[in-house]
Structure 1
């Protein structure tokens, strides 16, 4: 192993400026492979006569995309020192047990000497522990052939990585906890494979704790710890006995069987929870080991996000279900947006736009919301972006203020930098049909275990406002119509008054779209994502249909 690229995992206690160029879309570009990839809005709608060369920022984003996707030879080839870069990137991710990084580029800046710098945020999931988040920068220089490359230094990977200091991962593992469902039925990873990584994060029974660990910065020569960069895992002592969860063995069984039968071997995840109190009934992932996509994934939610967009529009009286909002095949806002399969519905009502998931219609209404209004509605009424304490590590969503009109258009349809996962979208669905946000929970009477190691003494600090009854009634009616007359017809022959919304989320030019479906029946809300599932109805639809068809009586 290269001496400058050494990382180790230790287990202990086995217990120049350009004129007249078109600017790249302002704002951070999300490069999220663990979460299902990235959405690149393309060239922005405005021109400027000064600023960094767009080709430099493009090279930076490509480097981050390759690194996040594990295409390390390609990433290294975009640097001034490919051999060294590849060895360092490989040893960094492998030595620290990092799986599926998420890297978000920020706007580029240019120095007087022509060097371009692209800052970025790194979210590094450490297998079985949590997520290490930090900031770094990519320096880029124009080469003699006119191309831009990342000017390679160790600090590209992390600002504290150097020739004299490296990182070391230390784990403190304990025996897996005993876990039961809400009725006291024992749950095991052998019986419920999807719960393996989840149960390990709950904290142990019998006075034990869940997996703990830390990433230390150490002296390369002596191994002395210079500082601790991140800690993971709670150190609280629980009362004797198994960890009692809110899970339901019947729902969990149905969820795991539905994914096994209908995810077609693709990465997929789903969550089912009670509408009246947010208690989680099932968490399932495919594959069943490794990254917990259901709770910690970061995905563009696609058209399932139109539930939130519709709420924002209805709250403002900006549109009504019977208003005519045309649905053309294309709409250009800096880039060309289109509908799935190039569908069009001339003279459609807003209700029709919702049930047929018309992207262009929703984007045409963007001027009726202020730039930050969608994110404010998501936070205030749905709790998205607030800090959740579920009882296990979770990602709680992000809806940044759009940087330009193209990004605002994308956010209206759950793209751009909007990020969620099945946990968030199941909660969004529950809030939409009940009017009240209930922080999801996985363990009874326990608010510990939030992501990124913040687990001791955490309390529910979410603060939300109920949706008006009129808005809830309109949302329920449109969700129901999506099943009876729209894109969620895959659920139409199941018993019960099911409401649903499909979603198809762009990932990248070389990856198929992710498929989404959210639904509610009785007192249960469900959300499912299938990576590269192409369409929501065609991929996530059969999973949710199988779940609802086999699940026990809805939790009252």
Structure 2
């Protein structure tokens, strides 16, 4: 019988099975070790040392903080690093770099590289942003140091190329009024911030470039970043505004003559298209409170409240709305000088600016209705594209009944300024909101609806009656069909009230606020009267 066919003894069979099992186990173990990278013939992944990353982050912090000596000491070439970092920031007018560390990686030779983003604010021009990375290597003494190289400051900085800042013409081009007359901040100090902002909006003003140049020849080899608009106004080219030189001069003179040295602001605009004719501030320097101020508009806001009441059919001009001295809604509200008009009509409440009468009607409008009407018909709270930075009003939904009562009379969290309130007056007497503009490129992105004709007629009549028989009597006798609404806005328990007035005549709407003016009739009305007396005719 052949050997292959002979029976295998039991002992031998057990031995073969044992050897097979051992071999299989070894194979499985080897495979698992390979998959888990334990096998001695596979390479290990490089390790990222936390100490290396910390050194890179500390280097960035020292550089950003202007501690160039300390930053240099963290590198392999302290003196060169310190000099380069100092020259880089000073030579390019970089005041406060913002350097943010990013992801870290490690190479086979042990070098840890930390990426970072740089935002370099160049004085008067803008921010230069770029990305770079910092190599960190372990030294013979075991310490980690930034491996100094020019390219870590910026990838294009090298032994053959450096950077140069070139500032270009920053002259502000002439700004003219609607008729082409040049506007001067010397003649009208209120216009200095306005003129500067108009020019910058048109692309004029500071421009510059950071160039890459050859260290040996000083020839330009490339451009890193440009600042300012290349398509801006050309040198000598004027920028036309909607302002009217005569109205602007008269506005400045009115504040100087009648604001009694108090902080005050005035805006005049055309009713038919929203073009701004005058922007005046007192004091002239500093904050442009006329366009960007945030004030409680006080009782001038009752124009909007009245619009909401009329739109909802909640009240008519002849309806009796009692006007007591006080009314408590969470807190006590009162009228100016605690006046009262028992059995008054709604018209009397409007012309005498009765707070308690208006507050008593709060249940006739929804909690969010004032804000909805203000936005839908008057454009308040929408984003206006005036041509300059502006605050376009705010009417938050009241949080409780006390806040709702306050919002009925232009207090609480309702906010506006002379720009928004001049626009409210213009909308009330015309029926249509026209986004205010001060330059021709102010694209209107608002969406509004026209007020019903009956509501417009009623608002006109109420504003006219306020001049002939109400709190704006100081405007009576002026030529033209002048309408107005005064306002007295509380600021705090310890500060005097702000005085307000909005007025319309012909195709012009005006709004004035006098801080600490006590009442609108005593402080703001004289300013408007001075303005309208100086300019008896509408602008062309």
**What TM-score comes out, normalization by structure 1 length?**
0.62
| 1:150-193 Cα distance to aligned partner (Å, 9 max, x none) | xxxxxxxxxxxxxxxxxxxxx99943331000000000100110
Cα distance in 1 for partners of 2:314, 2:90 equals 57
Counterpart for residue 313 of structure 2: 317
CA shift, 1:464, in A, is 0.2
Aligned positions, number = 364
Larger Rg: 2
Query: The residue matched to 1:203 in structure 2 has which SS?
Result: helix
Q: Is the 8 A contact 2:201 2:388 kept in 1?
A: no
Counterpart for residue 502 of structure 2: 518
Cα RMSD of the aligned pairs, angstroms, is 2.7
Q: Which runs of 5+ in 1 are unaligned?
A: 15-127, 130-170, 213-232, 448-458
| 1:26-70 Cα distance to aligned partner (Å, 9 max, x none) | xxxxxxxxxxxxxxxxxxxxxxxxxxxxxxxxxxxxxxxxxxxxx
Query: The residue matched to 2:198 in structure 1 has which SS?
Result: coil
Match of 1:423 among 396, 419, 424: 419
Counterpart for residue 52 of structure 1: none
Q: Is the 8 A contact 1:385 1:399 kept in 2?
A: yes
Q: Is the 8 A contact 1:328 1:345 kept in 2?
A: yes
Q: 1:398 to 1:343 in 2, by over 3 A?
A: same
Counterpart for residue 115 of structure 2: none
Q: Is the 8 A contact 1:523 1:554 kept in 2?
A: yes
1:237 and 2:221 correspond: no
Cα distance in 2 for partners of 1:235, 1:516 equals 40
1:330 and 2:329 correspond: no
Cα distance in 2 for partners of 1:465, 1:209 equals 38
Q: 1:520 to 1:173 in 2, by over 3 A?
A: farther
Residues 463-502 of structure 1 mapped to structure 2, 5 A cutoff = 463-502=447-486
Cα distance in 1 for partners of 2:249, 2:300 equals 25
CA shift, 1:289, in A, is 0.6
Q: 1:206 to 1:292 in 2, by over 3 A?
A: closer
CA shift, 1:510, in A, is 1.2
- By percentage of residues, which structure has more helix? 2
1:439 and 2:435 correspond: yes
| 1:202-224 Cα distance to aligned partner (Å, 9 max, x none) | 12599623799xxxxxxxxxxxx
Match of 2:277 among 261, 278, 281: 281
Q: Is the 8 A contact 1:12 1:172 kept in 2?
A: no
Query: The residue matched to 2:300 in structure 1 has which SS?
Result: helix
Cα distance in 2 for partners of 1:267, 1:202 equals 23
CA shift, 1:237, in A, is 2.8
Q: 1:520 to 1:318 in 2, by over 3 A?
A: same
Query: The residue matched to 2:524 in structure 1 has which SS?
Result: helix
Counterpart for residue 451 of structure 1: none
Cα distance in 2 for partners of 1:371, 1:205 equals 39
Q: Is the 8 A contact 1:13 1:173 kept in 2?
A: no
Q: 1:519 to 1:12 in 2, by over 3 A?
A: farther
1:290 and 2:281 correspond: no
Counterpart for residue 120 of structure 1: none
Q: Which runs of 5+ in 2 are unaligned?
A: 1-61, 67-88, 94-123, 126-166, 209-226
Counterpart for residue 154 of structure 1: none
Deviates more, 1:501-510 or 1:196-205: 196-205
Query: The residue matched to 2:199 in structure 1 has which SS?
Result: coil
Counterpart for residue 524 of structure 2: 540
Cα distance in 1 for partners of 2:538, 2:193 equals 26
CA shift, 1:460, in A, is 2.3
Counterpart for residue 140 of structure 1: none
Match of 1:373 among 369, 374, 395: 369
Counterpart for residue 193 of structure 2: 197
Bigger RCO (CA 8 Å, 6+ sep): 1
Cα distance in 2 for partners of 1:286, 1:529 equals 10
1:177 and 2:177 correspond: no
Q: Is the 8 A contact 2:175 2:199 kept in 1?
A: no
Q: Is the 8 A contact 2:248 2:278 kept in 1?
A: yes
Cα distance in 2 for partners of 1:380, 1:172 equals 45
| 1:473-526 Cα distance to aligned partner (Å, 9 max, x none) | 000000000000000000002111100000000000111000000000000000
CA shift, 1:461, in A, is 1.2
Cα distance in 1 for partners of 2:529, 2:198 equals 29
**What TM-score comes out, normalization by structure 2 length?**
0.64
Q: Is the 8 A contact 1:298 1:420 kept in 2?
A: yes
Cα distance in 2 for partners of 1:403, 1:339 equals 23
